[in-house]
Amino acid sequence: MSTTNLKKPILCILLNYIKMANTFVTYSKIQAIKR
């Protein structure tokens, strides 16, 4: 029980981090195109 409870928040944090990384990559790509 405790292991699953610990794994869930870590997965959520990882998903949020991946989303942030994707948005950052797309933003930097747009900035590069603008230049």
Q: What is d(CA 14, CA 7) in angstroms, rounded to the nearest whole number?
A: 10
Asked if pLDDT for residue 2 goes beyond 80, the answer is: no
Q: What is the DSSP letter of 31?
A: H
Longest distance between any two alpha carbons in the chain, whole Å: 52
For the chain, give every domain's residue range: 1-35
Q: For 3-27, how does the pLDDT look when each residue is reduced to its tens digit (9 = 90+)?
A: 777 778 899 999 999 999 999 999 9
